[in-house]
Structure 1
Amino acid sequence: MKFLSSELAAHLAGGATTLCNCWKLTRGDGRVMGFTDHDGDLAFGGVTYEAAAGFTASAIESSAGLAVDNLDLAGALDSERLDEGDLAAGIYDDASVEIWRVNWQAPEQRVLMRKGNLGQVSRGATGFTAELRGLAHRLNQPVGRLFQYGCDADLGDERCGVALASVEMRGEGVVLSIEENRIVTASGLGAFDEGWFERGRLVFTSGGNTGAGCEVKLHSLTVDGAVIELWQAMAREIAPGDAFAVTAGCDKQFVTCRAKFGNETNFRGFPHMPGNDYVISYASSGDVNDGGSRN
């Protein structure tokens, strides 16, 4: 149910209205941005809503129950504050969005129409389309632990305990050459074994991609230096001389946790859990049936 001020209710009842839509977007880093489909900038609540940003939205529909209400938000990449590289880098992922219906002649007359978070974002040559998910989408997220062979902790987090900042787990390199904006040959990583950084994360510390990162797909060694292949191309061009930091990777398996990190006591999976093959197995005269350990 929407609650309208008496002034806004009287304006709507008057027949001729001066209404527009405003979008308030709050990124994960705390930066707040405002946009409106009105032909002039508006300001309220301490936020300036930029006009002529090319924003349009599909019809707002709400349903009863716990079904997730979605709508699409489309925009042109013509705002000085909207950057294609930031969109590609994931800076706007899961950003909080508020949609307001505002009387542009008197912005204090407004009503909050929808609140949610940005979902899937698709980009084109000159614009983008973003899915806006209603608050109920949080109920679709898994809560609690899963019983599985693999570890469900993130390498280096509190449950894992591996110190990723240590010199054994973290390397710093400089780009020597680039292919397809995702495969780099770099110096500074010669002390690490081949494959050490696979499934790890590389974050650029200088250049056009400063602060942006990507998961490492492959890590190999050549006579020219270490070759790091990322899972996807970076949003901005990588250039020779760009510096980066890269951390070790983990495949979430118990043997890797024990052999690579010596951290088996903090392994957060269930490597000894019987699988389907064990459930349907049967005793055989050729097997060792002494009830001993399955390891």
Structure 2
Amino acid sequence: MTRRWFAGELETVVTWWRVYRRDGITHGFVSHDRDLSFDGIRHRTAPGMVPSAIRLSSDLEPDSAEVAGALDHASIRAEDLAAGRFDGAQVEVGVVDWETLEREVIYAGTITTVSQDAGQFSAGLASVKTLLARQPIPQTSPTCRAAFCGEGCNLSPAPFTHDAAIASVDQVNAKLSLVGAPGADKLLDGTISFLSGESAGLEFAVAAIDGDQLILDRWFGEDVAAGTRVVVREGCDHRWETCRTRFGNAINFRGEPFLPGNDLLTRYPLPQ
């Protein structure tokens, strides 16, 4: 039977929350004066870090919440927030009896936005009910809807993943060139992951190319220098011609390149 929380005048109840980062690291916190361990996770005391404005509803509209606190906890660093290590992380919020460790989850969602201001941070959360807003039936498109080497594409990522090293770095413009990798044109729309330094474990997208240099989607750590080892994944522009000629994967193309567009109904006949 589920416990009825806050039924008495005096309760030994505190709030706990967990952050499951996409790089595999889990953070646990509790609004108590000592650490609590349960579910195989040590929840560190963080009385200055509190979830606020949790909204729960019985309709199909997504619930919203926010977590705020000071950037003074050892596991919440401004550098990690700026690098995007918490972007898209899964979050659980609940209550726990600090004497019996009886507990319950009251909110689950995903970090959508992270902001910093004067030593404070706040993270906006979106509940799992946002999944209900997804289109159950894919919409038609001239380009492929599948992620490259993902479900639907069905190509193995192994032939398109390469170990390489940085040849030169432009820290100001977030550019770099590689040695031991395919040409920059094949890496456009692909990804790059650093194997060491402050950016290790993070995945960056190749947003553009400038000659033989790759322009990444955001700035990387200052310790990235020539010789740093990386793993790069080739990119795909999701066009029919690319899928057919470059990858020979036309059978798995998830798009409708030959379907007439909506403007077909407004076209006028042309004289022959």
1:1-295 equivalent positions in 2, closer than 5 A: 3-4=2-3, 12-13=7-8, 15-28=9-22, 30-52=24-46, 54-104=48-98, 106-124=99-117, 126-166=119-159, 170=162, 172-180=164-172, 182-189=174-181, 192=183, 194-221=184-211, 226-234=212-220, 237-286=223-272
SS at 1:136's partner residue? helix
Do the aligned residues in 2 keep the contact of 1:85 with 1:236 (CA within 8 Å)? no
Deviations 1:219-239 (A, max 9, x none): 233xxxx31111211256422
In structure 2, C-alpha distance between the alignment counterparts of 1:236 and 1:98, rounded to whole Å:
33
Give the C-alpha shift of residue 254 in structure 1. Answer: 1.3
Summarize the Cα distance change of 1:181–1:23 in structure 2 as closer, same or farther, 3 Å threshold: farther
2:127 maps to amino acid: G
Q: Deviations over 1:24-76 (max 9, x none)?
A: 33334554332122222223343322113631221333222111111110133
CA–CA distance in structure 2, aligned partners of residues 258 and 24 of structure 1: 44
Asked if structure 2 preserves the Cα contact closer than 8 Å seen for 1:22 and 1:49, the reply is yes
Give 1:293's aligned residue.
Answer: none
- For 2:154 and 2:12, the matched residues in 1 are separated by 57
Deviation track 1:1-41 (CA, whole Å, cap 9, x = no partner) reads x9325xx66xx42x244432111333345543321222222
Question: Normalised by the size of structure 1, how large is the TM-score?
Answer: 0.78
Instruction: Answer whether contact 1:164 1:170 (CA < 8 A) is retained.
Output: no
Q: Deviations over 1:91-124 (max 9, x none)?
A: 43443333223343x2435443323333322244
Q: What is the TM-score normalised by the length of structure 2?
A: 0.84
RMSD of aligned alpha carbons: 2.9
Work out whether residues 53 and 76 of structure 1, in 8 Å CA contact, stay in contact via their aligned partners in 2.
no
Report the structure number with the largest CA radius of gyration: 1
Alpha-carbon separation, structure 1, partners of 2:19 and 2:232: 31
Contact 2:166/2:225, CA 8 A, preserved across alignment: no
Q: Is the CA contact (8 Å cut-off) linking 2:17 and 2:91 kept in structure 1?
A: yes
**Number of residues paired by the alignment?**
272
The alpha carbon displacement at 1:202 in A equals 1.3
Deviates more, 1:69-78 or 1:107-116: 107-116
Structure 2: runs of 5+ lacking an equivalent? none
Distance 1:161 1:111 in 2: 39
* Shift in CA distance, 119/164, structure 1 to aligned 2, threshold 3 Å: same
Q: CA deviation at 1:83?
A: 3.8
| Structure 2 counterpart of 1:178, one-letter code | D
Cα distance change of structure 1 residues 210 and 95 upon mapping to structure 2, 3 Å threshold: closer
Greater shift, 58-67 or 38-47, is seen at 38-47
